[in-house]
Chain A
């Protein structure tokens, strides 16, 4: 009985959490709402949660954190225009994703349209393979639907692992010895290079072509 009551209370608290974080933000205290929004985004992985966390971070004056959250929202939903627009408002450089490169070609493979096309393609091709009285139209319909959704799906899959991140705070680009080379402002977009961190630093590539290292906690 006690467990049931505890579980009910916990559930009630969880239900009220979004309202509480919204309240702090709505009352002009985004700094207080930001940790909750970040925790929600990290557990939910939904693009709109990252987007709201980015907006809250920007409102709190944390430009670096805002850029990181908005880039995470872009990776989660590369077809959505909102993160791109907000990054542009903040004046943050944006990496060009595969979805951007494909343009309209990626549209059928995004969102619910892709799911509908997938159902059509699967049903048509499955029926074409097994039915007794085969119709060539089934094959055509299935192939067209499959081809329509494929570019957007592949682009979204590639964009999900996009290596671009943002510096969380004002930091320094370091050389291999750990000596500062150049200052980097919070919110600078960097590209993580493959490889394990070494001596507490990660290898990064800047948009202007230079490579160097950053302290582990300075980028996300």
Chain B
């Protein structure tokens, strides 16, 4: 290192003694010259010399000033400056702890940086050209319901906003939001590459092989700069190599009968809110199950010991756990052993079924303070509910088909209304049948008999008309017509041709 080159910028440092921070590229690429930087804040005096540590396999270059900055906040002045130091690493990949670097000040003082640990790795030989896109599943072989992740990693030369070019297969069930992270790495030529990674947490519930593929759009610098020195960029599509996930069916061998499809480790814990209670009071039993896919978890059944009644409460869900609750009401003092719970689950790592069980608990009910609450029916709190009577032997036999028939409830009212209508109709029929006979129309009878040339009928009709109210003319015409009819009937004369016409004059007489 040459002292004059440092003095040019180090004179910018001023004021009180400060601190120095070393920043190393992470990862540190093997065999590639990269830039480390030292940030110096408020040294109080210019830096005149650096003492760089001797680390096996690490070669330092010439330090160069990279600029300085002065800020005044609330009247307090602060100066900071940067020193760039080229560094070349030729070590085996692995962690590397860089010891402290000493900065010698013109005033005779010193500043030291804190040790920094970075990872030494070989440059990725695949990172050439415009970019690299890769997609894969982690893990790529699962069982139905086992959580997995689709990972899309895009590595490009320039930092840019990217939109993922693929999505999980439609058969997959999303287990959460996609997570996006950014980082940097070193390409084959030693240049920095920007890495953006998306991770979709998924699960597939049906066996089979599922593949995703697509294209990833990125921006690539053309190399030509515009008037202001800015580089133009064009959009390009990079193919994404297909990624597959194989979902193998759960093994049938060893599958517990109460297995509900839970995959992944399950933990369960039970506790009592109070394990010692006085008689007449209750306690609450809480069972907390922690794991994934808790939607598949069935509500366990609690088999309380004799003398304890259990009333399930609604379960409560939280992140990755579900808590089941029961209100326990003991009926008498004593120690009650509460049974444990057990849940089967499938371990993808060993591909076997395993079981998580809880321990047993003891609820102690102390004799002493008791309160009497009148219960429903003939019960009292503190007294065990009446035992079920063994009545099966005294029960009567079932009726089955021998039950006496009973009309439907609507039938009586319907019968009442129906018979009311029927009785009314019958009354109307009776009324019609007993109606008085209507009087005959004598004039029409006369005319009809005349049209039939029925002289006897004409004579009878004329006889009936004699009682009618007639004018003098009609009376004389009636007598004349009667005489003609008598002559025809008994005198042998033919019927007069105007018989009908003469009878018509009486047609209106009722």
Contacts and interface: CB of A to CB of B under 8 A. Distances in A.
Contact of B329 (A86, A123, A180): A180
Contacts of A120: 419
A130 B428 CA distance: 6
Interface stretch (B92-100, B262-270, B356-364, B394-402): B394-402
A112 interface: yes
A20 interface: no
A219 B398 CA distance: 24
B482 interface: no
Contact of B416 (A122, A170, A185): A122
- Interface SS of chain A: helix, strand, loop or mixed? helix
Chain B interface size band reads 35 or more
Contacts of B430: 127, 131-133
Interface in B15-54: none
A89 B430 CA distance: 57
A123 B412 contact: no
Contacts of B389: 63, 90-91
B282 interface: yes
Interface stretch (B129-137, B379-387, B444-452, B489-497): B379-387
B309 interface: yes
Contacts, number: 194
A153 B401 CA distance: 25
A185 B422 contact: no
B354 to A, nearest CB: 34
Contacts of B437: none
27 contacts: A55-B397, A58-B392, A58-B395, A80-B404, A91-B389, A112-B405, A112-B407, A118-B416, A119-B415, A119-B419, A123-B423, A124-B423, A126-B419, A127-B424, A131-B431, A133-B430, A146-B416, A153-B413, A170-B385, A172-B329, A180-B327, A182-B379, A183-B379, A183-B381, A184-B385, A185-B385, A186-B385
Interface of B: 282, 309, 311, 327, 329, 331, 373-377, 379-381, 385-386, 388-389, 391-392, 394-401, 403-407, 409, 411-413, 415-428, 430-431, 434
Interface of A: 18, 22, 25, 46-48, 51-52, 55-56, 58-59, 61, 63, 77, 80, 82, 85-86, 89-91, 93, 109, 111-112, 114-115, 117-133, 146, 149, 153, 156-157, 160, 167, 170-173, 180-190, 206-208, 210
